[in-house]
Chain A
Amino acid sequence: MNYVIIGNSVAAVNAVAGIREYDREGSITIVSAENYYAYGRPLISYWLEKRVQDQDMPYRPQEFYEKNCVRVLLGRRAVKLDPEVRQVHLDNGEKLPYDRLLLATGGRPFVPPIAGLTAANYFTFINYDDVRRLEAFAIPGREAVILGAGPTGLKAMESLVQRGVKVTLVELADRIWAPALDPEAGALIAGFLQDNGISLYLNDTLTGIRQEDDGHLHMELKSGRELKADILVIAIGVRPNVELLEGLPGVTINRGVVVGPDLSTGLPGVYAAGDVVDGNPPLLPHAAIQGKIAGRNMAGAQETYLPLPPYNALGFLGLHIISMGNSVATGEGYELLTEVDPATLVYRKLVLKDNRLSGALLINKIDRAGIYRQLLEEGIEVTSFKDALLRPDFGLLSLPETIWKQKLAE
């Protein structure tokens, strides 16, 4: 069996592990557009602030590839897929035959049209090369504007702040990380950011940019406000890299590639996993799990991927947030359990619907968050232990006896 994996990040590496659970013999080739062995993309902010060094970037040690007999083609792009003859064409003209192919190409930053924006006057914040480029600019005393106050923007903010750069965040929504933080939590964190010397402009966005003669960037916001900075980082989302499958018969592409429950695309032998998959939240655990299952299925297993609700852990400047599911839902049919202590920046909120956990948001008190996630994913009814959910000693024993006994026996 001939396996080809397009992409070399978390989904790809986990697919290798998945394949090798079932097939020790088949040949595996990874085609990586980047010049690096797989690294956890979220590590780039840690790299920029030098909490992680080059040697600690790899997601798996070199021996992982050797042990699993994986050929990795670095700096190569797949440019065309020929499903008729089951070949993938590379940018150097090479044609790789495949029996099973995994599309794990991830996404790329979305950059909106902004007057005056050129490749030279902004940064994105998604891969190793982005921060390698940014490193030279991020020197103490400089100023940066970050467009987008979601997880990527916030991690970019943290790393720049740690490097001594003064940061201004510009966010189109009315609060930080709007899909995960409700207005109250948003306000709490906005205050925290301001206390840390970060400027924050909400309900606003960038409409124009120009480079002045002194090298400074002059930016205009929708509100009319004008900002001056040395660095612009655009972090307002990613778009799936679906080009390879575009226009091929049997493939459906919405925002991403549509896959079946076994993660196969409409093309025989072609699977997809990670951020490129339609409807999949662009989150690392999801990519890893999909990659593993896709790999197993490519090697002959018949495992179903049950769509996982989003969950995410985000920390910056000593603050830690875990969000999951529908963490901002309010109104009819939703019950909210909350614990708020502004003095310690603790905010814990559980969103219940039909007496089941629908979402959770935990700030600065994140112990045992995984139990909530499990309750949420399994759709367990919490009526009998609702009172215990936010108690400081909430734990496995708070769950019904049949559940905790079974969990402890696992």
Chain B
Amino acid sequence: MKKVYARPAYCMNCHLCEVNCIVAHSRSRDLFRAYKRENLRGTARVIVEERLPLSVAVQCRHCDDPRCVAGCISGAMVKDPETGIVYCQEDKCVGCWTCVAGCPYGAIRPGEKNGRPVPLKCDLCREADEPACVAGCPNRALVFEERRAGA
């Protein structure tokens, strides 16, 4: 499957992937509304890790046998059998955070949206052609591509 791959050599630590992720996952899809009305600052589903000068955007790898799905007590977290995308049906999540304990990449963080728990994890912007983090990366440090047949 097509996944987002990070190219750390070109990651310049701007964190715009986080900003674009937040906007893409906001109700309004508008930068200012997302941050100033919906208060979504800090809710990105991609995390830029820093060990300066190195930085790299870490996000869900959409595992073949995802631990987050195996551990989900409510059945909210699923892997789409067609697309391979691992995503959370957010209205089913109860916020037990077994997924957080499961993710080997640390790519799921506990979050909250409108008073409800939301696991902050990448869903590859399921409805878009290209994930927002990739589309908005100013230095092509993130690419969306197929690297391994069947993966």
Contacts and interface: CB of A to CB of B under 8 A. Distances in A.
Interface of A: 14, 40-43, 46, 51-52, 56, 58-60, 284-285, 288-289, 292, 311-315, 320, 322, 324, 366-371, 373-374, 393, 395-398, 404-405, 407-410
Given A284-B73, A408-B5, A315 B102 contact: no
A56 B74 contact: yes
B98 A285 contact: yes
B138 interface: no
B50 interface: yes
Given A370-B101, A397-B54, 13 more contacts: A42-B96, A285-B67, A285-B70, A288-B70, A292-B70, A366-B110, A369-B100, A370-B104, A393-B49, A393-B50, A396-B105, A405-B8, A408-B56
20 contacts: A40-B74, A41-B73, A56-B92, A292-B70, A313-B101, A322-B100, A366-B100, A366-B101, A366-B110, A369-B101, A370-B67, A370-B108, A393-B49, A396-B49, A396-B58, A397-B51, A404-B56, A407-B105, A410-B61, A410-B63
B75 A40 contact: yes
Contacts of A396: 49, 56, 58, 105-106
Given A284-B71, A313-B101, A367 B94 contact: no
Contacts of A60: 75
A313 B96 CA distance: 6
B50 A397 contact: yes
Contact of A315 (B5, B49, B96): B96
Interface string B52-82: 0010101001010101011111110000000
B103 interface: yes
A58 B75 contact: yes
Contacts of B106: 367-371, 395-396
Among B69, B75, B97: residue with most chain A CB under 10 A: B75
B102 A285 contact: yes
A56 B89 CA distance: 11
B31 interface: no
A368 to B, nearest CB: 3
B105 A51 contact: no
A399 to B, nearest CB: 10
Interface of B: 5-6, 8, 47, 49-51, 54, 56, 58, 61, 63, 65, 67, 69-75, 91-92, 94-98, 100-110, 147
A322 B101 contact: yes
A60 B79 CA distance: 12
Among B6, B71, B92: residue with most chain A CB under 10 A: B71
Top 7 A-B residue pairs of the complex, sorted by shortest distance between their CB atoms? A368-B106, A285-B71, A370-B103, A374-B104, A288-B70, A40-B73, A59-B75
Nearest to A409: B5
Among B51, B91, B108, B147: residue with most chain A CB under 10 A: B51
Contacts of A393: 49-50
A397 B74 contact: no
Nearest to B71: A285
Contact of B101 (A373, A397, A407): A373
B98 A284 contact: yes
A322 B147 CA distance: 34
Nearest to A155: B96
B49 A397 contact: yes
Nearest to A410: B61
A327 to B, nearest CB: 12
